[in-house]
Amino acid sequence: METNSTADNTVVEKSIDSETACDEEQYLQLIANILRTGTRENTRNGDTLSLFGASMRFSLLREGQAIIPLMTTKRLAWKTCLKELLWFVRGETDNKLLQQQNVHIWNANGSREFLDSRGLYQNRENDLGPVYGHQWRHFNAPYENCDVDYSSASDKGVDQLQRIIEILTHDDEQVKKQNMRRLVMSAWNPCQLDQMALPPCHILVQFHVTDDKYLSCALYQRSGDVGLGVPFNIASYAFLTHLIAHHCGLVAKEFVHFIGDAHIYVEHCDALQEQMKRMPYQSPSIHISNKYDNINDYQFTDFQITDYQHHDTIKMEMKA
């Protein structure tokens, strides 16, 4: 039994059975560690308890069945998460395309007020600049606006995602082996940070193949809002790993998550204390029903999630 205290000295207890704990227990343990040992910091958008350096591992395969680590100690909006991921995969940066799908997680960062606070006066409202999707599919291509078709631009940038796919599906085994430690995709581009509505938080992803069959993914996240953002990030990159594995004829195996600044906003402490009292359920299953030649062609309806058992929603304020 581990005893933890928050900044206001409210004591919480978290019992961990190492032999039977599911992957989600790592996340609950991270919350406990931050509440107990986190440093109080005054940040850009609020006071936090912060811990530098954390890691977790999540299985994507259980007894031969594809699974996905959706949070179960609270309801996770996985549909919103998946729609955002597919928006990244297509290289999109227009928040209006998300709004049309009833996804509103970028609204605060795409507002006129927020864009102006970043000095992005030339961006129309909801033009987020060269954020994740642009860097994944057109790394460092000169950014004009979110309406430009960068695939037909004179300088298309580097399509990092497609390069990874081509290596994973290359017929020459020697080419595959030579590149297996170079399956890296970066969203962090210092040349264009000032053009982005928000510099990326999840900045570097690396893929790895074992036994010529199993695909794993490691993410480095420079900054993680543990209450709201991190559960979303876990699900998003698990979705991405399953998608790439499916597209390339592989089997998704594991997602490894590294976080630099892992923090809890003080306003979230009470809600997370409540979440820690809940017992996790097993991760749900995932199935991708179709396979396309172009990774851009995957749709939300191609993904099926089954047996998602979860506790009730826990509301926390989003910090833009």
C-alpha distances (whole Å) from 181 to each of 145, 148, 159, 202, 237 are 34, 33, 18, 20, 19
Helix axes 269-276, 24-37, angle to 10 degrees: 140
Task: Answer yes or no: 201 catalytic.
Answer: yes
Q: Which of 81, 146, 191, 201 is catalytic?
A: 201
Four-point Cα dihedral 4, 10, 11, 13, nearest 10:
-80
CB count within 10 Å of CB 172 equals: 9
Q: CA dihedral in degrees (58, 63, 66, 71; nearest 10)?
A: -40
* 3 state SS of 291: coil
**Residue ranges in 12-111 assigned as alpha helix (H):** 24-37, 78-89, 95-99, 107-110
- Contact predicate 23/58, CB 8 Å: yes
Report how far residue 35's alpha carbon sits from residue 37's, in angstroms, rounded to the nearest whole number.
Answer: 6
Query: What is 99-162 written as a DSSP string?
Result: HTTT--TTHHHHSHHHHHHTT-TTSPTTB--S-HHHHHHHBTPPP--TTS-GGGSSS--B-HHH
CA distances from 304 to 249, 271, 307 (A): 18, 30, 10
126: left (phi over 0), alpha (psi -120 to 50) or beta: left
For 29, the 3-state DSSP assignment is helix
Active site residues: 201
